[in-house]
Amino acid sequence: WVRAPFGSVWKAAQNGCGARTGTGTSTVVLRLADVDVEGRVATSGLREVGLSADDRAKYALSPGDLLVFRVNGSPQIAGRVIAYSGPAGFAFCDHFIRIRLPEDGAVPGFVARAVSQGDAR
């Protein structure tokens, strides 16, 4: 095991998409209600927003990304981190922060659990 500051583990962080409507390609934009703290993603009732090609690329989720619950009315949920397992190409709303880990770096599920606990959270 190696102890490392969190900032040295990730390669990019991005706040989510604030668009609620738009023109462009219809894209699923995950909301807080679409993801639970165990990382399960809803399969129905998902919101789609028209996003430009640039915004689709900017906000696209990939399996292994970490999603931080940035805001929520519940102190038990705000600050939690999950490892996103898919599908690829969904976008995420501005209530989340996406953290992308290097492909050859830490195991996403381990990092998500580690930083969702105690003082790390």
Q: Quick count: other Cβ atoms within 10 Å of Cβ 51?
A: 23
pLDDT in tens, 47-71: 999 999 999 999 999 999 999 998 8
State the average pLDDT over residues 95-101: 94
Residue type for 120, please?
A: A
- Confidence bin at 46 (pLDDT 50/70/90): very high
pLDDT at 120: 65
Residue 13 main-chain phi, psi, to 5 deg: -130, 145
Among 26-35, 42-51, 102-111, the minimum mean pLDDT is found in: 102-111
User: In which residue are the tokens 């290097």 written?
Assistant: 102
Q: How far apart are CA 65 and CA 63, in angstroms?
A: 6
Say which amino acid occupies 115: V
